[in-house]
Amino acid sequence: MVRFEKDKIVVEIPSMFPVADWLERVSDLVYAIGAIDKDRVDNDNDCIYTLCSLILEMMPEEGDVLEMLRAKGLR
């Protein structure tokens, strides 16, 4: 589901396994960006930059990553 709030776009994806699904989606996006033929992309519409911005926004904050590692006993 997508909803719009003041100054943001909120995307919610229902999932039984959110971490695994998130990892798969991020990996798929990175793979897709790598497969883009730059000669076929309109230089005036930099979709690669937009896709990379999406991936960056999907990444957890450093504190959240450290907390996830602590919860798994890895830190």
Q: pLDDT tens for residues 41-66? A: 776 667 788 888 889 888 888 888 88
Question: Cα dihedral angle (65, 32, 9, 24), rounded to 10 degrees?
Answer: -40
For the cut 80, the answer to whether the pLDDT of residue 1 exceeds it is yes
Residue 70 pLDDT: 85
Average per-residue pLDDT in the chain?
85
Is residue 5 over pLDDT 90? yes
Measured CA to CA, the distance from residue 24 to residue 30 in angstroms comes to 10
Average pLDDT on 20-42 reads 85
Collect all residues with Cβ–Cβ distance below 8 Å to 69 and sequence separation of at least 6. Answer: 75
Do residues 57 and 25 touch, judged by C-beta distance below 8 A? no
pLDDT at residue number 7: 94
DSSP 60: P
